[in-house]
Structure 1
């Protein structure tokens, strides 16, 4: 057992009982009561464990995966739907959404510790579905409608489900937790591939904005329903919930990370590349991001996590500076693939490695995303209506 001076880890205990492990290994939803009777054992598998992990995967696909697809909306709003607004003002919608995912996560993490898992995931899923359907009713050049539905509503909804859906996986895995977390984290990357393809074809196709967003909302709602049906808790809440908000005051922040995610599609179009190819520029970046999250664990085993993160963050900053020279199809592909991969390595650390901290995991994750609130709006303001691309690239790359 850890000493009183050490931070208590969530739901861990060193004792292992062979007979209990064998009982839990063959667990399923009909035997959840058996799982609960052995709170100090980790099944490390079984139907209940992997169904819960799959549910968390779907939550990430619909939550953070949708949030990081905002580059499609940034392009569409700038050119067609919010033409009276600046790029900076439009960026506030996506940046607030991103910020609220992790900011609300500090609150939902605390509520999760108090035993409100099912309340959070059900309420968050319903709010996400409601917010997307309300977004579909937004009218052109009605900025406040889109800001409230997508920036505020969708951000709060994703924040309610984000931390609980990942934390519940730790009920079932200890030795194989990195494997399970890597699978869950890949959900956001896969979502960031699926949603841009769907949204670009829906918004710019025959359906238009309203019906296109409603089709997207229906797809997300079905996946969230499946996720809620899959996930199950196994352990009782801890005796002393962690105070995430106090701990978060000591954390550092990141500014330039989301610039390529928000602006690469618009950047491609404004540099005269074909609209069809530009629609897939964000997809290229996110596919590479997904590959990085899957392979990063194997690379870290040889390089060590600190060395991997140092190389990834420095390389990411250099590649953002490289967006100054973005002007051709080849440059978009190269920058998209390389930045997507190094960004994926960074996010792997926060999505899998940092979650080994269990109860304290929301704190550094919040710190890593908190400056997304101001980073992209500043980049949008530096871009100006004249689309001076080198200024926001320098700002974001140096940051």
Structure 2
């Protein structure tokens, strides 16, 4: 009799099977032998695994976390440093930075799959440090200088590191992957909490813009150095690199994956509105300068809690269901920003929105991994998804909000746009879930047929 830890003869491990073809190829029926479990191929821990997780956490802290702290710069540039530019023009700096963070993922994901992980991390770290130090040399009302350093240089740098630093975690974890990826994702929300505190006190303090940005650049440089020393790859690159054209063709025929991309695009058109404009919104509504400076900190602290807890909640609800709930909540709360008028409303909206935004971000990469049958294509699929969904939404969403805001600061119009478009994205996620249930029902039927034909 087989021990309890061993699967029954000829029985596949159902949680690791994606479709009937994978079932047959992964678990060929061989009498009198037990098939291996895919989870045994992943160490699920160890020194190299956890130092890699720490390094990935720090990359998110310095990359995505710094980019989503742009609300501080949006406020500072609008009021003091780029007074000759509109809110929409200024928001292009931050949105272009976010656009490149994901657009470059197409290139970095492909290079990562070809074994250039360390090259990408070192080049991205050096470029991020250089770009921030160059930003400190930018002069007032010199829009092009700030755009080149912060929008272009820093965006490319973060893009070189983002996909590889996230995908490398999959080398070490499968069973714990969702939980570990939520911890990694919390690095960006922690960064988006720490960086605004530091930047608000530096830019508006005795150091001023130039020295304040240099101090921030110094911190980022040290942390990225530590990250590069911590991260290690475990698996050799595939002998035949992933064909992006082939991966894209598979994605086109993968209906749930296509719906996920469409949902992410629509949702993220409105997703970043509070992160870019909450601080300016608070100041223009007459709230105290001290509270306004910490409004983004409140939002991002709640965001950090949301990212960390998303992994635990997903264990009970499932990643698709949790993503749907988070997107609906964010869309409704975006509409709630129409009523922001006092300290209480700003605090409540910031905390609740930050929490559900954190749940969405913490679940997004896990959702992509769940919808990727072949992990050798994970880097390619992440790059494709980030490019098609994140890029256009990043580069369009906040500039549209800034244009709708106008120089008269009509706050209800961009809040309405952000809320409605985010809810439209949540509807696409619901369709994704329905198609996923339909596909998995067919897979279970196919699995049963295979098992019945090979007792």
SS in 1 for 2:41: coil
Contact kept in structure 1, 2:182 and 2:363, CA below 8 Å: no
Q: Does 1:344 align with 2:358?
A: yes
Distance 1:111 1:189, change over 3 A: same
Deviation at 1:352, TM superposition (A): 3.0
Q: Deviations over 1:17-52 (max 9, x none)?
A: 9xxx9xxxxxxxxxxxxxxxxxx8322111111111
Q: Gapped runs of 5+ residues in structure 1?
A: 8-13, 22-39
Mapped to 2, the partners of 1:346 and 1:338 lie a distance apart of 13
Contact 2:181 2:362 (C-alpha < 8 Å) held by counterparts: no
In structure 1, C-alpha distance between the alignment counterparts of 2:91 and 2:179, rounded to whole Å:
34
TM-superposed deviation, 1:244: 4.5
- Displacement, 1:353? 3.4
Residues 1:395 and 2:413 aligned together: no
Mapped to 2, the partners of 1:79 and 1:384 lie a distance apart of 15
Residue of structure 2 equivalent to 1:24: none
State whether residues 109 and 382 of structure 2, in contact with CA within 8 Å, keep that contact through their aligned partners in structure 1.
no
Q: Which residue of 1 aligns with 2:384?
A: 363
**Equivalent pair of 1:185/1:352 in contact (CA under 8 Å):** no
Q: Does structure 2 retain, via aligned residues, the 8 Å contact 1:244–1:362?
A: no
User: How far, CA to CA, are the matches of 1:171 and 1:302 in structure 2?
Assistant: 24
Report whether the alignment pairs 1:333 with 2:381.
no
Corresponding residue of 2:291: 277
Gaps of 5+ in 2: 1-16, 24-34, 253-257, 422-455
- Offset of residue 321 of structure 1: 1.0
CA distance in 2, matches of 1:67, 1:6: 39
Secondary structure of the corresponding residue to residue 256 of structure 1 = helix
Instruction: Report the aligned-residue RMSD.
Output: 2.2
Q: Tell me the alpha carbon deviations over residues 327-346 of structure 1, each in whole angstroms, 9 at most, x when there is no partner.
A: 10000111001111111111
CA distance in 1, matches of 2:216, 2:279: 19
1:157 aligned residue: 157
Match of 2:104 in 1: 104
What is the deviation of 1:304?
3.0
Distance across 1 between alignment mates of 2:211 and 2:179: 38
Query: Quick check: 1:350–1:365 contact (8 Å CA) kept in 2?
Result: no
Q: Per-residue CA shift, 1:272-300, capped at 9, x if unaligned? A: 00001000101111111111111112222
CA contact 1:178–1:352 (8 Å) conserved in 2? yes
1:316 aligned to 2:330?
A: yes
Q: Which moved more, 1:64-73 or 1:246-255?
A: 246-255
- For 2:400, the equivalent position in structure 1 comes to 378
Normalising by the residue count of structure 2, what TM-score does the alignment of the two structures yield? 0.78
Spell out, residue by residue over 1:363-396, the C-alpha distance to the aligned partner (whole angstroms, 9 max, x if none): 3344442211111001101111111111111111
Mapped partners of 2:174, 2:271: distance in 1: 31
8 Å contact 2:115–2:237 — kept in the other structure?
yes
Secondary structure at 2:104 match in 1: helix
Identify the residue that residue 128 of structure 1 maps to in structure 2: 128
C-alpha distance 233-193 of structure 1, shift in aligned 2 (>3 A): same
Shift of 1:347: 0.9
Q: Distance in 2 between matches of 1:175 and 1:3?
A: 19
**Deviation at residue 316 of structure 1 after TM alignment:** 0.8
Equivalences, count: 372
1:126-185: CA deviation from partner (whole Å, max 9, x where unpaired)? 000000000000000000000010001000000000111111111122222222212111
Larger radius of gyration: 2
Are the counterparts in 2 of residues 132 and 150 from structure 1 also a CA contact under 8 Å?
yes
Paired residue secondary structure (2:271): coil
How many Å separate the matches in 2 of 1:368 and 1:183? 23
Identify which range, 46-55 or 206-215, moves more after superposition.
46-55
Matches of 1:285 and 1:173, distance apart in 2: 30
| Bigger Cα displacement from structure 2, 187-196 vs 247-256 | 247-256
How do 1:175-194 residues align onto structure 2 when only pairs under 5 Å count?
A: 175-194=175-194
Residues 1-399 of structure 1 aligned to structure 2 (within 5 Å)? 15=36, 41-244=41-244, 247=248, 251-252=261-262, 253-254=265-266, 255-356=269-370, 357=372, 358=375, 359=378, 360-370=381-391, 371-399=393-421
> Deviation string for 1:293-331 (max 9, x for gaps)?
111122223333333222221111111111111110000
